[in-house]
Structure 1
Amino acid sequence: MTDFDPATFSSYGPKEFAKLVKSTPDKKIAEVMSGELRGKVLDEVFSRMPSLFRAEKAGNTNAVLHWNITGGPDGSSDTYEVVIENGACTVNSTPEREPKLTLTLGPVEFLKIVAGAANPAMMFMTGKLKAKGDLGLAANIPNLFDIPKG
């Protein structure tokens, strides 16, 4: 399973997806994520977030997060909104609310983080991940989601 083909992502479970991201060269991920299949990949990843949300770890967390993924076709970016509210997680492909936290990162870094193949704190310290807003919330994100380990 080393063919990074977005057409088959929906058939992969979180662990298989994590293994795929780990085994795919960054150059290939960047190539796919700068092309016409980018939206399909991002939609698939974000559509899974509510099912990977750990409400028992959220406590009374109520927050709006914007994920700004750069590196799209012609230098474009995509912003997805993740809302954690009343013990539930919802996702919007078009931001509708003011964020408590905005995370900006490239597509390779994004996929590595959601696949458990990268350390978000290290990416933040090296400038590959930018966070604006509630940094405490940023540090807690890995606790709020069941991030697969490939």
Structure 2
Amino acid sequence: MTDIADELAGLDFAAVSPEEFAGIVKKASAKDIATIMQGDMRERVLAEVFGRMGRQFRPDAAGSLDALIRWKVTGEQETVYETRIADGTCTVTEGRSEADPRVTLVMGDAEFLKLVSGNGNPVTMFMTRKLKVAGDVGLASGLTRYFDIPKA
């Protein structure tokens, strides 16, 4: 493993601030990300990132928004999470529900980590087909304003 992969493997993700995580992702190469986003480590990283979404949600920015966002993160396998924004709250669940999402976002592991850590430009990702959007493209284009995205 590389130094960054080793660093991530030993991390207690709950003790890492969003800004520290953003800095780690910024330093990581695509190969580093591919190395760490396997098996249990991948599950730990995704669970921690999605687990923080509710805490990083900005209800003042969301206002009266009512939407279900489905995230499909591809890589070693496809992992699905859903984010429900309604009544000034944000709840995150693992897995696919029977509800119809207002928007579905599909991206690989590296793109997902870059997006949620503030290290990737969602417009560029969309234009280069690294981020696929099905449904309400307008909602997708404004999602970042509903969350405190860390800066590395």
TM-score, with length taken from structure 1: 0.93
Q: Could you tell which deviates more after superposition, 121-130 or 91-100?
A: 91-100
- Find 2:114's aligned residue among 112, 115, 128: 112
Deviation readout 1:96-140 (Å, 9 max, x if unpaired) = 222110000000000000000010110000000000000010011
- Find 2:46's aligned residue among 39, 42, 45: 42
RMSD between superposed Cα atoms in Å: 1.3
Residue 84 of structure 1 aligns with which residue? 85
Offset of residue 5 of structure 1: 2.2
Residue 72 of structure 2 aligns with which residue? 68
Residue 54 of structure 1 aligns with which residue? 58
SS in 2 for 1:61: coil
Deviation readout 1:2-33 (Å, 9 max, x if unpaired) = 42226422210110110011012221111211
Asked if 1:9 is matched to 2:49, the reply is: no
CA distance in 2, matches of 1:110, 1:49: 13
- Specify every segment of 5 or more residues in structure 2 that has no aligned partner in the other structure, as ranges: none
SS in 2 for 1:148: coil
Residue 138 of structure 1 aligns with which residue? 140
Letter in 1 for 2:19: K
Alignment identity in percent?
Answer: 44
SS in 2 for 1:80: strand
Letter in 2 for 1:93: E
* 8 Å contact kept, 1:101–1:134: yes
SS in 1 for 2:12: helix
Q: Work out the number of aligned pairs and report it.
A: 147
- Specify every segment of 5 or more residues in structure 1 that has no aligned partner in the other structure, as ranges: none
CA distance in 2, matches of 1:48, 1:5: 19
TM-score, with length taken from structure 2: 0.92
* 8 Å contact kept, 1:68–1:105: yes
CA distance in 2, matches of 1:119, 1:5: 26
Moved over 4 A (4+): none
* 8 Å contact kept, 1:4–1:29: no
